[in-house]
A = this chain, B = another copy of it.
């Protein structure tokens, strides 16, 4: 569990034993949250980097009138911005979607690594670049993909990200979020997510049932979503 971050970064760059040790040393200050709690809120000053160990979290923004948009999912092994603490205040909130275990890494430790360890400093840059790539792909989905394509694309992305840290074989994985959460991530209404899910299931490509996702036909799911895995930059290990 503690080495998920290592596994994740090793998709991008080779780590030596000392680097791995340094990363493992970050896993302390463990915090547990219930589903639906905020990790940090818009307006707060970020003081530490949050590393997800178990469960799912999200980054979200809320408009004045209550409309909510989830802009990122955090899976086990994900860091919520290696360098947030450079900013004065959060312009969005982080919240748990499931029971959550996370490590709160003091900013000094991250800053120390960035100043003193070239490999890990590069790894953090790569991690940041890839998170940004994901954010861009979400922008594409919301701007130009239809509801079924959006869902299909998200499923492809999540499954591959979980695979890159060894949490799935690529055909079946956890999807422990409500349809309302999916709706807020995909820019749809919960009702429409429900109907689209049924439609996808009817095609036989994929099924989401009691918080588990099963992919029956990855080839065709990817074709439907127009999913091109290159934006995740995982080639070092998982290939596609």
Known interface pairs A125-B86, A132-B135. Does A91 touch B143 (Cβ–Cβ under 8 Å)?
Answer: no
Pairwise interchain contact A144-B87, C-beta atoms closer than 8 A: no
A51-76 interface bits toward B, Cβ cutoff 8 Å, 1 = contact, 0 = none? 00000000101011101110110000
The answer to whether B92 touches A136 (Cβ under 8 A) is: yes
CA distance A184 to B143 in the complex (A): 8
- Selected interface stretch from A28-36, A168-176, A229-237: A229-237
A190 within 8 A of B: no
- Chain A contributes a number of interface residues (CB within 8 A of B) equal to 49
Nearest-neighbor residue (CB-CB) of A231 within chain B: B91
A184 to B139, CA, bound (A): 11
Min CB distance, A144 to chain B, in Å? 4
**Whole-angstrom CA separation of A231 from B139 in the bound complex:** 17
Q: Which of B68, B86, B137, B144 contacts A122 (CB 8 A)?
A: B86
Q: Does A133 contact B (CB under 8 A)?
A: yes
Interface flag for A142 (CB, 8 Å):
yes
In A119-170, the 8 Å CB interface with B consists of: 122, 125-126, 128-129, 131-133, 135-140, 142-145
Is A226's beta carbon under 8 Å from chain B? yes
Whether A103 sits at the interface, judged by CB under 8 Å, is no
Task: Give complex CA distance A145, B118 in Å.
Answer: 41
Contact B125 A71 (CB under 8 A): no
Residues B129 and A135 in contact, CB atoms below 8 Å apart? no
In the assembled complex, 19 residue pairs joining A and B whose CB atoms fall closer than 8 Å, in A order, are A59-B136, A63-B145, A65-B226, A67-B144, A69-B140, A71-B140, A83-B125, A83-B129, A86-B125, A87-B129, A92-B136, A115-B118, A128-B128, A128-B132, A131-B132, A135-B135, A135-B139, A139-B139, A143-B187
Q: Please give the residue numbers on chain A whose beta carbons come within 8 Å of chain B beta carbons, in ascending order.
A: 59, 61, 63-65, 67-69, 71-72, 81, 83-84, 86-89, 91-92, 115, 118, 122, 125-126, 128-129, 131-133, 135-140, 142-145, 184-187, 226, 228, 230-231, 233, 235
Which are the 4 A-B pairs with shortest beta-carbon distances?
A: A143-B187, A142-B142, A91-B231, A69-B143
